[in-house]
A and B are shown apart, each in its own frame.
Chain A
Amino acid sequence: MRPYRDLLSRTVTALEPSGIRKYFDLLDSMDDVISLTVGQPDFITPWHIRVAGIESLEDGKTYYTSNSGLLRLRESIARYLHRRFGLTYEPDGEITVTVGGSEAIDAAVRAVCNPGDEVIIPVPCFVCYEPIVRMAGGVPVLLETKAEDDFRLTAEALRAAITDKTKLLILPFPNNPTGATLDEHDLCEIADVLRPTDILVLSDEIYAELTYGRRHVSIASVEGMRERTILASGFSKAYAMTGWRLGYVCAPKEISAQIFKIHQYSIMCAPTTSQYAAIEALEAGDADIEMMRSEYDRRRRYIVDGLESIGLHTFMPGGAFYAWANVGGFGMSCERFCERLLYEAHVAVVPGTAFGACGEGFARISYAYSVSHIDRALKRIGEFIGTL
């Protein structure tokens, strides 16, 4: 047999494995580490939502659902999106329930990309977009967001990145890892750039419920944008339901029909238990969101204040649950900084370059942790910085 590399998909073998291998190997080999790395809520799924899942099992709801998801769930999603963000989607034909927001992103990209199509991805960003675009045969065009713009995507930068091959803009706000958000004004300016073109938008709104001091606005609600927008979202962050693997993707019928085929042939349907739990989440989970959001909001202020006071300039995030701290002032790469912090102070944070080369000089510090945990970590980070 020939070597495996000659037998396997060239597209896939060419992909980089995610993350910073060396760093995470070191992390896994160490004990007594205070970690601020994770990208998921520390809250456990609210009990009433878990009960809805349990009861569905007790009732024997163990079959596939319809491919696009339980109609009741799609109706709940439609009502929720209308209630929270003023969006209107037809449960029948415009909403597909997916295995997490991740499947929603993958199916959406595959549904629109032809080989060679350019996909604009603002960076630093969630690590999955670029490989997903490559696997779909698209060409990622990375567009760096800047500290001086509060890590927002600006209309000028977008306009400059557009070519006649541009097919899709991925719009990941609120942003992981920077915590940046876009307000209505930003979105209108972006919409002005896109409206005269045929460019579609994939708006990843998984953190939509976790914005602080200002309600999230969806680009799909901006005039003339619904027809060209694919909205991907899910239950993981808003309801602390990461392990349930449940998301959804909404788009006009013609786009949804293509997304639906990908979902139908590759997935069949999202987990049934999770779908029943999700109905409960949407219908009776507003107070849970409120509680978690205000908790994250306090931690957000607390961690940014703490990082600033030990000499790490940190962008005040408007959403998600990450602090994007500047660790570039110590004469070493961010990866080296994080390695030494881990090795010498036993605190783990994610090197900014894990989210793209432009993340150099930064570290993503998650505040999906209790205040006392954050406190202990800050103390150690402060002591470490004192030795530099």
Chain B
Amino acid sequence: MQNMKDTKEILGVIEGDARLSAEQIAVMLGKETGDVRAILEKCENDGVILGYHTLVDWDKTDREYVTAFIEVKITPQRDRGFDKIAERIYRYPEVKSLYLMSGGYDLACIIEGRTMKEVAYFVAQKLAPLEDVIATATHFVLRKYKSDGVVFGAVEEDARGNDFI
């Protein structure tokens, strides 16, 4: 149980800043570096930690890209449910995220392309023709305000003065 508690604590820290080293995490949590390293390795091997990503605000670069959120209605397959068709969709590298949803549609698919045309092509040529897909509704993202818990936009400056009292 202690191990699970430690693991959750370490994951909580590294989820917020993937660049922290095992040494730094160990100091912050008052643990042994070796133990932290072992737990991180186990998490990587067990697929608990799936990657270490950088959150980029591409709008601040000149990279052209467009993000779309697509509602997908599908017919579930006998025995396989939604899984098989979901796999057919998420195998495409354009698909950034795919969720099975409750409510008015079945799959929420987030895809990224260079242009609207490219996204439209993906929906029309790859997604919609799939046998079990009944309907799609494509929504283009106009502006990203917040993603993965981080607010996009101006960097907030430290507005505190030097007064030490």
Interface residues of A (CB under 8 A from B): 18-19, 24, 27-28, 35, 37-40, 42, 126-128, 298-299, 301-302, 305-306, 348, 350, 354, 364, 366, 371
Which residue on B lies nearest to A242, using beta carbons?
Answer: B160
**A35 adjacent to B28 (CB under 8 Å):** no
* Number of B interface residues in the complex (CB < 8 A): 15
Docked complex Cα distance between A29 and B10 (Å): 41
> What are 15 A-B residue pairs whose CB atoms fall within 8 Å in the complex?
A24-B162, A24-B164, A37-B163, A37-B164, A38-B164, A40-B160, A42-B158, A126-B165, A301-B27, A301-B29, A302-B24, A348-B162, A350-B164, A366-B164, A371-B24
Is B161 engaged at the interface, CB distance under 8 Å to the other chain? Answer: yes
CB distance from B27 to the nearest CB of A (A): 4
Known: A27-B162, A354-B164. 8 other contacts (CB 8 A): A38-B161, A38-B162, A42-B158, A42-B160, A127-B165, A298-B29, A301-B27, A364-B164
Instruction: Report the bound CA distance from A228 to B41 in whole Å.
Output: 56
A298 touches B13 (CB 8 A): yes
Q: Closest CB-CB distance, A29 to chain B, in whole Å?
A: 11
* Smallest beta-carbon distance A334→chain B, Å: 14
> How far, in angstroms, from A28 to B165 measured CA to CA in the complex?
15
**Chain A residue at smallest Cβ distance from B17:** A371
Is B164 in contact with A302, judged by CB distance below 8 angstroms? Answer: no
Complex Cα distance A350/B163, Å?
Answer: 10
Say if the beta carbon of B30 comes within 8 Å of chain A. yes
How close is B62's CB to chain A, nearest CB, in angstroms?
27
Contact surface of B with A, Cβ cutoff 8 Å: 13, 17, 20, 24, 27-30, 158, 160-165
What are the residues of chain A within 8 A of B20 when measuring CB–CB?
371
Q: B134 to chain A: closest CB distance in Å?
A: 40
Known: A38-B160, A40-B160, A42-B158. A302 touches B165 (CB 8 A): no
CA distance A54 to B13 in the complex (A): 32
Chain B residues within an 8 Å CB radius of A19? 164-165
Question: B28 and A302: CB pair below 8 A?
Answer: yes
Chain A residues, CB < 8 A from B24: 302, 371
| Docked complex Cα distance between A38 and B20 (Å) | 25
Q: Which residues of B contact A364 (CB under 8 A)?
A: 164
Is B28 a contact partner of A301 (Cβ separation < 8 A)? yes
Residues in B whose Cβ lies below 8 Å from that of A27: 162
User: A298-B29, A371-B17 known; A128 and B162 CB under 8 Å?
Assistant: no
Assess the A39–B162 pair: CB atoms within 8 A: no
Sorted from nearest, which 6 A-B pairs have the closest CB atoms? A298-B28, A305-B27, A350-B164, A37-B164, A38-B160, A302-B28
